[in-house]
Amino acid sequence: MIPNLTLRDIREAHERIRPFIRRTPVMTSSSLDELAGARLYFKCENFQRTGAFKARGAHNAVFSLTGEEAARGVVTHSSGNHGAAVALAARSRGIPAFVVMPTTAAEVKKSAVARYGGRVTLCEPTQESRESTARRIAAETGAHFVHPYNDLSVIAGQGTSALELLEEAPELDVIVCPVGGGGQLSGVAVAAKALRPGIRVVGAEPAAADDAQRSLRAGRLISGGNPQTIADGLRSSLGELSFALIQAHVDDIVTAGEDAIVRAMRLVWEIMKIVIEPSAAVPVAALLDRAPPAAGRRVGVILSGGNVDMDRLPWLAGQPPAPG
């Protein structure tokens, strides 16, 4: 059964979150167009608040709660951008946020959560420990759990970037969007297909974390285990809701290799002069490799985030930072 998520839900989400999020720009680059053989429209969610699209879904989830549901705050687990987004959304609503993070999470991510007023609880770096710790905190505090992607209000929020993109570039033939847990891809697909039925919506994921492609082709949810990829935002496996929506609305899922992801990331920095994280480079890498057939087409590309540890750039891998 296809989960009940419609364009109307996404429009309502957009109205709900508009005061708290940024309307990010759509950028173009003739140099990248030449390299890709297509006309690219980059939706710059790297400029979104908290540095990633996650602010959209988190705000919609937090502001969709009733006063009673919200009263004791929200709790989530995250190794990165979703935690910061929930912390900011909770602050926007004036309620506490409890964020469970694995001990292995990057310092920069932990301090981002803290900067937005989130209360960090560390846990073991396993899915089981994340979930059980979040459950325990929910039980102790009465906080409402906000899943990073397997939640229709989160998915509706993530879909709002497609509304803005198609307002500014209504003639798109294709949208290519990163896929990890699938919240963004499924929301974008619902919005884009409703606004423009002929459009193709394509997910892009690391070849090293290709559970979405395998799931779509097998017609059943295949877990990705614990994939090793530079695209740290795309290591999650699809959820049941996101998978069902992707099956219904997404045309294809393509992959990109690790070297191609790093090359694409660096090219975007050099040519467009913007900072994107590895996950955001995945659709660019796929387009430069001609993975989705896009020759001569108008292609929307979701640049999903820009949170990067400047001491550990992947093309300088193995180089420790300078002392001091």
Active site residues: 54, 304
Judged by beta carbon, residue 201 or residue 276, the one nearer a copy of itself is 276
- Considering only residues 167-186, where is the footprint of a copy of itself by CB under 8 A? none
Q: Does 7 bind a copy of itself (CB under 8 A)?
A: no
Q: Residue 302: name the closest of 184, 171, 152, 182 by CA.
A: 184
> Going residue by residue from 254 to 283, which x/- string records binding to a copy of itself, judged by CB under 8 A?
------------x--xx-xxxxx-------
Least gap, CB of 115 to a copy of itself (angstroms): 9
Tokens of 40: 């690219």
Query: CA–CA separation, 241 vs 295, rounded Å?
Result: 32
- How many Å is the Cα radius of gyration of the chain? 18
Residue type, 320: P
Least gap, CB of 198 to a copy of itself (angstroms): 31
> Going residue by residue from 43 to 62, which x/- string records binding to a copy of itself, judged by CB under 8 A?
---xx---x-----------
Judged by beta carbon, residue 68 or residue 270, the one nearer a copy of itself is 270
- The secondary structure of residue 66, as a DSSP letter, is -
Q: List, as one string, the DSSP characters of 190-256.
A: HHHHHH-TT-EEEEEEEGGG-HHHHHHHHTS-----S---S-GGG-SPPPHHHHHHHHHH--EEEEE
Least gap, CB of 220 to a copy of itself (angstroms): 38
Least gap, CB of 29 to a copy of itself (angstroms): 10
Contact 175/202 with Cβ under 8 angstroms?
yes
Judged by beta carbon, residue 109 or residue 249, the one nearer a copy of itself is 109
Q: If binding means CB under 8 A, how many residues of this protein chain bind a copy of itself?
A: 25
Q: What angle do CA 192, 196, 202 make, to 5 degrees?
A: 45
- Considering only residues 12-41, where is the footprint of a copy of itself by CB under 8 A? 25
Q: Does 322 bind a copy of itself (CB under 8 A)?
A: yes
Pairing mode, if any, of strands 174-178 and 298-303?
parallel
Least gap, CB of 71 to a copy of itself (angstroms): 28
Q: Which residues bind a copy of itself (CB under 8 A)?
A: 25, 46-47, 51, 266, 269-270, 272-276, 306, 308, 310-311, 313, 315-322
